[in-house]
Amino acid sequence: MQPDLLNLHALHHFRTRSPLTHCMTNDVVQTFTANVLLALGASPAMVIEAEEAEQFSAVADALLINVGTLTASRAQAMRRAIESAVAVGKPWVLDPVAVGALGYRTRFCQQILVLKPAAIRGNASEILALAGMSAGGRGVDTTDTAASALPAAQALARQTKAIVVVTGEVDYVTDGLRTQTVTGGDPMMTRVVGTGCALSAVVAASCSLPGDRLETIAAACGWMKRAGTLAAAQSRGPGSFATAFLDALWELGAQQ
Amino acid sequence: MQPDLLNLHALHHFRTRSPLTHCMTNDVVQTFTANVLLALGASPAMVIEAEEAEQFSAVADALLINVGTLTASRAQAMRRAIESAVAVGKPWVLDPVAVGALGYRTRFCQQILVLKPAAIRGNASEILALAGMSAGGRGVDTTDTAASALPAAQALARQTKAIVVVTGEVDYVTDGLRTQTVTGGDPMMTRVVGTGCALSAVVAASCSLPGDRLETIAAACGWMKRAGTLAAAQSRGPGSFATAFLDALWELGAQQ
Amino acid sequence: MQPDLLNLHALHHFRTRSPLTHCMTNDVVQTFTANVLLALGASPAMVIEAEEAEQFSAVADALLINVGTLTASRAQAMRRAIESAVAVGKPWVLDPVAVGALGYRTRFCQQILVLKPAAIRGNASEILALAGMSAGGRGVDTTDTAASALPAAQALARQTKAIVVVTGEVDYVTDGLRTQTVTGGDPMMTRVVGTGCALSAVVAASCSLPGDRLETIAAACGWMKRAGTLAAAQSRGPGSFATAFLDALWELGAQQ
């Protein structure tokens, strides 16, 4: 990571602005995603009906599209929300959960990719699949390391003009030319559902901040990894880890 | 609050009767809502298919309608559930999440308002909007104080014959003539998703109890605020707060 | 229970194989179900769109069908997932939440019962209703003891060739000829939403392991009861209980 380990300046901005973040995400991680955003000082809102999603994404500061439990009606509402956000210049972020492994969502993500996401956050298998370089993983877990997907991430970033984040033991954040590496975290983060999905929501919220988007997103990855490290040191299993993780996000930068 | 701070008599009734509470609520807060009801001794059940919702709300002791993630099919099922509850004299409660800010749900809530809710629980922006006195807030967070919405709450109560609860730093519970004020709580309650939505479920369950409904609902508001105060004193962030909040609800009145 | 109280051999197998478990479950318990599976070392995945559910259940190691928040579109996707799993010889498990009490899901469960579930996990009222021996409970809570439903469970097992698990203060696991009894646990397990539903997911994952299925499922029931006992000893209410429960599952057998 950068010398300024957590980019506390960006974190201060994040807390002060409290980005109103429209999360169209999967059913499994909605509560945790909302609580992660709240712990970092953002304002989450989940609005899913097509008319309302269209209306709301023009008002919100950023939009998250996560296809983990995609359905036909959800896909239609997402498309309208994206188009509405794009029309008024609000950033949207794609989390291509299990793309490559499952057909319907893979086709959907390929279709919406032309609507110019500000960022894409996935694990190695998902980024490889989205870049057309792999048949994808088995289910939601990746079978590749983040480093192995870095060339695919860079190619995808150049192709889409999005910042691409490929996460794993190490996170890589790239715009196709520059690449930032984010280390830290703890394996326990993979034993609590939704840490990756929640990161995507934080990335979406971060895209609404001014400044160098690549650096802000890398900072966001760093906040989550730091909270993971702190939480692992204070917990004895995934139950207490999840609790300590939210507390750590809350306390991050509080000593400033 | 009343001299009897928590109305432990009502709490004892609540625990003893264990109201079977049919919650048609938003996707984000379902788990927390169920766990809050369970911690207070009630029996939550979430039934959403139209035929079943109609069938179940006639059997349950109370029905909660929360429009946070409303969809067309959910709206249809809610309407059937409400009509079924009303037909057999069971109380139903409306939580008009983000009404005023979003069109589809605002029209829906205006339509079902004629079906005589026993109570309505919202924040200031939502109550102002439902009473036709404001264009509503930005997303789910209120931009008004509860006190500023009290006249709207009283007017709405007189118009609908419902008990109207407008919550915030201070909660107001009114039937349009009498108004109870409930103080306490902690700002951390706004950093965990679902505390307001869960209160609406507790209000619904409370409506099934005998006695003065205004006082029972005010008591329910007091239980949540007291648990919030206790939890804040025992936690270091929103993760441990949510855990301590459920424990505090569980322990409330246990010393009796 | 068996002399080997927890069948740590089966637990070791479970952790090593990390069964990819396709959970089509209700909206209220998805997060907790995923976290329970993760704490025990399994890989949960929730896929609900019909085409994808069909595709995924052929790849996953086991499929869970839980009808707690059934809708028409969900029912259609479930049916396709089951048929796909059966076609390739993957086990599926039925959790008949509130069957008997509600019409739509009761008809659906009766229809899919012919698709040969590997196991069925329910409370006494649900098993009695599924076996055609009762009009069912009131909502999701059982009004019968597990022991009173044992003859129904045995008859249902003989009729369907499934292992039937009827849970309560004592769990019974039967194939219609042999019956295992699993004791332990704690009443606090009924004050956290989803412990029963999560057990059904663990049962589904267990069905993918080699060996005597009856014994593996009884072991799975034992893991959950043991974690409940341990968590109750370390908690002061349902909030800290849920946290400690996940930690206890994580630590189970770790001393090996």
**CA B5 and chain centroid, separation:** 20
C55 has a chain A CB within 8 A of its CB: yes
- Contacts within 8 Å (CB) and 24+ apart, C169-175: C169/C145, C170/C146, C171/C146, C171/C218, C171/C221, C171/C225, C172/C146, C172/C147, C173/C214, C173/C217, C173/C218, C173/C221, C174/C150, C174/C214, C175/C214
Closest CA to B12 of B209, B207, B201, B196: B209
Decide if C70 touches A, using CB distance below 8 A: no
Q: Measured between beta carbons, which residues in chain A are less than 8 angstroms from residue B138?
A: 20, 59
How close B184 comes to chain C (CA, Å)? 21
User: Chain B partners of C32 at a C-beta cutoff of 8 Å?
Assistant: 31
Give per-10-residue mean pLDDT for chain C (256 aa): 68 96 98 98 98 98 98 97 98 98 97 98 96 65 80 98 97 98 97 98 98 97 97 98 98 73
Interface check C36 vs A, CB under 8 A: no
CB contact under 8 A, B104 and A52: yes
Q: Are C239 and B247 a contacting pair at CB < 8 A? A: yes
**B51, C103: Cβ pair inside 8 Å?**
yes
> Which chains are adjacent to chain C, needing at least 3 Cβ pairs under 8 Å?
A, B
Task: Give pLDDT tens digits for C175-207.
Answer: 999 999 999 999 999 999 999 999 999 999 999
Q: Do the Cβ atoms of A240 and C247 come within 8 Å?
A: yes
Across C97-132, b (16+ Cβ under 10 Å) vs e yields bbbbbbebbbebbeebbeeebbbbbbbbbbbbbbbe
Structure tokens, A194: 């939704």
Helix (H) / strand (E) element for A93: namely strand A92-95
Q: Does A242 contact chain C (CB < 8 Å)?
A: yes
Structure tokens at B183: 């103080």
* Yes or no, beta carbons of A35 and B72 under 8 Å apart: no
Residues of chain C found within 8 Å of residue B31, distances taken between Cβ atoms: 28-29, 31-32, 193-194
Our CA-based measurement puts residue A96 at a distance from the nearest CA of chain C, in whole angstroms, of 14
- Write out chain A's pLDDT in tens, 256 residues: 444 567 888 999 999 999 999 999 999 999 999 999 999 999 999 999 999 999 999 999 999 999 999 999 999 999 999 999 999 999 999 999 999 999 999 999 999 999 999 999 999 999 999 999 875 455 555 567 889 999 999 999 999 999 999 999 999 999 999 999 999 999 999 999 999 999 999 999 999 999 999 999 999 999 999 999 999 999 999 999 999 999 999 999 775 4
Q: B46 and chain C: CB distance < 8 Å anywhere?
A: yes
**Which chain C residue has its CA at the smallest distance from A73's CA?**
C49
Contacts from A214-218 at CB under 8 Å and sequence distance 24+? A214/A163, A214/A173, A214/A174, A214/A175, A214/A178, A214/A180, A215/A2, A215/A7, A215/A10, A215/A180, A216/A7, A216/A10, A217/A119, A217/A163, A217/A165, A217/A173, A218/A1, A218/A2, A218/A7, A218/A171, A218/A173, A218/A180, A218/A182
Q: Of the candidates C28, C102, C239, which has its C-beta nearest B34's C-beta?
A: C28
Alpha-carbon span C168 to C150, nearest angstrom: 11
Is some CB atom of chain C closer than 8 A to the CB atom of A106? no
Low-confidence ranges of chain B (pLDDT < 70): 1-5, 135-143, 255-256
Decide if B57 touches C, using CB distance below 8 A.
Answer: no
| Residue in C with minimal Cα distance to B54 | C102
SS3 A239: helix
State whether C236 and B247 contact (CB < 8 Å).
yes
Was C121 annotated as part of a binding site?
A: yes
> What are residue A162's phi and psi, to 5 degrees?
-90, 155
Q: Which residues of A154-170 are buried (b: 16+ CB within 10 A; e: fewer)?
A: bbbbeebebbbbbbbeb
CA distances from A67 to A37, A99, B119, C25, C64 (A): 19, 8, 36, 17, 21
- Chain C stretch 167-226, residues whose beta carbon is closer than 8 A to a beta carbon of chain B: 190-194
Suggest the residue from A25, A26, A27 to mutate for an interface test with chain C (most C CBs closer than 10 A): A27
CATH H superfamily, domain C8-225: Ribokinase (3.40.1190.20)
Q: Which of B123, B202, B207, B128 is nearest to B162 (CA)?
A: B207
- Could you tell me if C214 and C175 are in contact, meaning their C-beta atoms sit under 8 angstroms apart? yes
Q: What is the DSSP string of B14-68?
A: HHHH--EEEEE--TTSHHHHHHHHHHTT-EEE---SHHHHHHHHTTSSEEEEE-T
A8-249 placed in CATH 3.20.20.70: no
Per DSSP, what are the bridge partners of residue B23? B64
B20–C138: do the CB atoms touch at under 8 Å? yes
Q: Is C113 touching A (CB cutoff 8 A)?
A: no
Subunit partners of chain A (3 or more CB pairs within 8 A): B, C
pLDDT in tens, B228-254: 999 999 999 999 999 999 999 999 977
Angle between helices C195-206 and C30-39 (to 10 degrees): 50
C194 annotated as ligand-binding: yes
Alpha-carbon gap, residue A78 to A226, rounded angstroms: 31
Which numeric CATH code is attached to B8-247?
3.40.1190.20
